[in-house]
Amino acid sequence: MEARVRDDLVGGVVAWWERHAPELPTQTIEFTKRVARMHALTDRVTVAVLARSGLSRAEYDVLGTLLTAGEPHLKPSELSSRLLLTTGGLSNVLRSLERRGLTAQTSDATDGRSRRVALTPEGGATAERVVREVVAAQHELVGRAELTAAVEALRSVLGTIDPSAEA
């Protein structure tokens, strides 16, 4: 491993594992630690933007998912599945968003027993504004350096880990 890589937080962890368990695939350790570190750093920026908008991470995720879902609007079970949220947790988020006038539930036209969740006009405008603010803040943090190569590499790895991600 190069000295410059060992000088950062993840590099130090990887170097320790190289010394103490050389049989382990330390490149895998480095990859997962760097992805986790990148997530933590970008999430910190995301949460700061969301706090200014009075939204939780879960509320943001619901708004963003509804914004991009199109018609017909999603059933709560579909939202829960897409966001990996429990149905109970999602119910709390949906109640909060509905109280604030950002979402509304309607009857499913094909199944009167089911409900669908939709953005209100205010919810759509809020979702679009906050997504733009979050992406701008993340872009400022990440910049453009090697971004295309990084995205392609992560897409490839994710396709191996989760083949449905490529669908």
Average pLDDT over residues 133-137: 95
**Rounded to two decimals, what is the model's pTM?**
0.78
Whether omega before 72 lies within 30 degrees of 0, making that bond cis, reads yes
Range with top average pLDDT, 107-116, 138-147, 148-157: 148-157
**Segment 16-71, tens digit of pLDDT:** 999 999 999 999 999 999 999 989 999 999 999 999 999 999 999 999 999 999 77
At residue 145, the pLDDT reads: 65
Contact 13, 33 (CB under 8 A): yes
DSSP state at residue 75:
P
Nearest in space to 56 (alpha carbons), one of 93, 81, 107: 93
At residue 2, the pLDDT reads: 45
> What CA–CA distance (Å, rounded) separates 150 from 133?
22
**Segment 75-97, tens digit of pLDDT:** 898 898 889 888 888 999 999 99
> What CA–CA distance (Å, rounded) separates 120 from 110?
21
At residue 18, the pLDDT reads: 94
107: phi then psi, degrees, rounded to nearest 5:
-70, 145
Which CATH fold would you assign to the domain 41-143?
Answer: Arc Repressor Mutant, subunit A (1.10.10)
Contact 92, 32 (CB under 8 A): no
> What CA–CA distance (Å, rounded) separates 156 from 162?
10
Contact 65, 74 (CB under 8 A): yes
Residue ranges per structural domain of the chain: 41-143
Taking the CB of residue 73, how many other CB atoms lie within 10 A of it? Answer: 19
**Residue of higher predicted confidence among 145 and 94:** 94
- The mean predicted confidence, pLDDT, of the chain is 88
At residue 3, the pLDDT reads: 44
Alpha-helical regions (H) of 21-146? 26-53, 57-69, 76-83, 87-99, 121-142
Contact 45, 141 (CB under 8 A): yes
pLDDT of 4 strictly over 50: no
pLDDT of 121 strictly over 50: yes
Collect all residues with Cβ–Cβ distance below 8 Å to 148 and sequence separation of at least 6. none
